[in-house]
Amino acid sequence: MQARVGKAVAGYWLTRDSQTKRQKKSGRLDQGARGAVTGGAQMDGFISLLTEILQEDGVREEHIFRKRCLELPGFFRPTKEWDLLVVRDEQLIIALEAKSQVGPSFGNNFNNRTEEAMGNALDLWTAYREGAFNSTVKPWLGYIFLIEDCPQSRYPVKVREPHFEVFPEFKGASYAKRYELFCRKLVRERHYSATTFLMANKVDGLKGIYTEPANDLKFELFARSLVAQAAAFGKKI
């Protein structure tokens, strides 16, 4: 599994590089690191890997959706587009989102990323409660997060407490630690069925080298949870 995840990590950095080079060539380079973000597709390697894992476990190709037909109805908005879906017999089996962040603007984007993930979960589960897609199967909701491993993501970050104290785990926590805590709490509070958290820098990442700071957020555990859901509901018996 480690080699397969490493390939996805390398693909992430290669895609970012190619998008930046294309924008430079066209003369339309976005400011800062945004040029490698607006092109999308950086996390496609992870989606491809999970698609392979699902197919190896017996999920038919016609039940797996990526790059097309990714919209699900929401409760607070008409639809939300996910990164990977498994739908069988008019039942939503799996919905998954893959996100990343690179420096240097970790502070500017942390709240946006966390609010987005929480909002997506709230919207999906409320729509599920209201009967938007399923009648018998509880969907499996997954979240993948990759952060750049660099000094800016590892530095301790101060918190402001003008009126009340923040929770102790956030005091002196780096942005990498904040994301780790966030991924863990998403599962513990049952907003997501499983999450995984990875770190990689550009130099080593291109070689497929990455780290998993938290044992409970390892990709292999994430994949096992995904396969368990697929085995129960996503394939013909």
pLDDT by residue for the chain (237 residues), tens only, comes to: 999 999 999 999 999 888 777 777 766 655 544 443 433 589 999 999 999 999 999 999 999 999 999 999 999 999 999 999 999 999 999 999 999 999 888 988 999 999 999 999 999 999 999 999 988 899 999 999 999 999 999 999 999 999 999 999 999 999 999 999 999 999 999 999 999 999 999 999 999 999 999 999 999 999 999 999 999 987 664
Q: Are 137 and 93 in contact (CB under 8 A)?
A: yes
Give me the pLDDT at residue 92, please. 96
Q: Which pLDDT score is estimated for 35?
A: 42
Burial (CB count within 10 angstroms: exposed 0-12, middle 13-18, buried 19+), residue 213: middle
Answer whether 111's CB lies under 8 Å from 134's CB: no
The pLDDT assigned to 24 comes to: 72
pTM over 0.95: no
- Tokens standing for 15? 């895609």
What is the structure's pLDDT at 36? 37
**Nearest by Cα to 143 from 111, 102, 92, 191:** 191
φ/ψ region of 129 (left if φ > 0, alpha if ψ in -120 to 50, else beta) reads alpha
Please tell me the predicted confidence (pLDDT) of residue 34.
Answer: 46
The whole-number pLDDT of residue 27 equals: 65
